[in-house]
């Protein structure tokens, strides 16, 4: 008898077909108020679930007595209560690495578009306000040969470093929980303290996972340390930043600009002051949003799901202390 699994986000047909070879699949293209009660009913007999964003905590797990594995089709897993999953012997997986290059492209896009004010100037042209030669009022700042500070030198940080160093001759500073010798040797990155990174960098790129230790790690104190000419980039998670402190830093000129792909509340509230700031470039959490990369992520999540239910070690098992038989 095939194990029952729930896929609760839209996935490509080939991903669904792959799972269906070994599992009985209940498929939701997304969860909302109209189908959530049906989802909970199906959850009672499910052995695996696959999707992203769903809060998997004690209250949900209490309704899933047969669950053996939960699979995120994302690199982040702050929606998982890892301790609770570990206590119940439930495996958890995510999809790191396969999105590194695509997210790095997005980060470089934010760096360039923020520094050169591209969205603002795009609107200038489209609104018919480009009536003469562009003067200093509309100038941006150079990216090449500047100092890029990366907070979180993991796979994505390394991919950004490669682009910045070899594409734009940028000098790289980084701060991480541990030294990344490969980044130092291959790209000439220099390890330094958080304080030194903030003081010296022309661009500060935050690339850490969301944990209790990283929540609000960029706040009033950190923005005050940055140069007035510096640009802040966030493609990690919205809650790694104190948004009120960021708004204040931008409004008072403590920093020059910001490029953001993530927010504390997503989708972002329409009254969020960041949306009305001309020195802020905003994106709707599109870091990995290409068809090619999303297919790779979904297929890796499916591979994790099938492997775990067949008694194998999933390729990207999150370390929860659960032993795989």
> Per this entry, what is the length of the chain?
325
Which of these is catalytic: 237, 243, 254, 294? Answer: 237
SS3 215: coil
Rounded CA-CA distance 264/315 in Å is: 30
How many Å apart are CA 121 and CA 316, to the nearest integer? 42
Q: Is 285 a catalytic residue?
A: yes
Q: Which two tokens stand for residue 225?
A: 């340390």
Q: Put residue 305 in one of left, alpha, beta given phi > 0 → left and psi -120 to 50 → alpha.
A: alpha
CA–CA gap between residue 177 and residue 175 (Å, rounded): 7
The active-site residue out of 88, 184, 285, 312 is 285
| Continuous segment of H or E residues that includes residue 205 | strand 203-206
The yes-or-no answer on residue 266 being catalytic is yes
Residue from 37, 40, 46, 39 nearest 9 by CA: 39
Respond yes or no: is residue 248 known to be catalytic: no
Give the long-range contacts of residues 183-191, CB within 8 A, separation 24 or more.
Answer: 183/153, 183/157, 183/158, 186/162, 187/158, 187/161, 187/162, 189/150, 189/153, 189/161, 189/165
- Element containing residue 147 per DSSP (H, E): strand 147-151
Q: Hey, which residues are catalytic here? A: 237, 266, 285
């Amino acid at each position: 008898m095939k194990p029952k699994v729930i896929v609760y986000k839209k996935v490509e047909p080939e991903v669904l077909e792959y799972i269906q070879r070994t599992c009985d699949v209940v498929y939701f293209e997304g969860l909302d108020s109209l189908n959530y009660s049906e989802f909970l009913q199906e959850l009672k007999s499910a052995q695996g679930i696959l999707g992203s964003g769903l809060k998997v905590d004690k209250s949900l797990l209490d309704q899933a007595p047969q669950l053996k594995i939960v699979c995120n089709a994302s690199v982040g897993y702050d929606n998982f209560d890892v301790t609770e999953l570990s206590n119940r012997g439930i495996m958890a997986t995510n999809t790191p690495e396969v999105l590194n290059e695509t997210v790095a492209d997005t980060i470089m896009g934010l760096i360039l578009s923020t520094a050169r004010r591209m969205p603002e100037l795009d609107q200038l042209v489209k609104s018919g306000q480009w009536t003469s030669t562009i003067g200093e009022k509309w100038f941006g700042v150079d990216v090449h040969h500047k100092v890029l500070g990366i907070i979180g030198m993991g796979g994505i940080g390394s991919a950004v470093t490669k682009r910045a160093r070899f594409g734009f001759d940028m000098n790289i500073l980084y701060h991480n929980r541990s030294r990344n010798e490969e980044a130092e040797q291959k790209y000439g990155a220099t390890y330094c303290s958080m304080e030194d990174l903030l003081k010296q960098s022309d661009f500060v790129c935050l690339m850490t996972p969301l944990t209790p230790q990283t929540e609000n790690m960029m706040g009033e104190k950190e923005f005050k340390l940055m140069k007035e000419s510096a640009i802040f980039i966030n493609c990690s998670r919205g809650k790694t930043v104190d948004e009120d402190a960021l708004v204040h830093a931008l409004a008072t000129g403590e920093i020059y600009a910001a490029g953001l792909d993530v927010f504390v509340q997503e989708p972002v509230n329409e009254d969020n002051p960041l949306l009305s700031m001309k020195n802020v470039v905003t994106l709707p959490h599109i870091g990995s949003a290409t068809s090619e990369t999303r297919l790779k992520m979904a297929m890796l999540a499916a591979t994790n799901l099938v492997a775990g239910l067949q008694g194998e070690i999933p390729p990207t098992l999150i370390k929860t202390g659960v032993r795989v038989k």
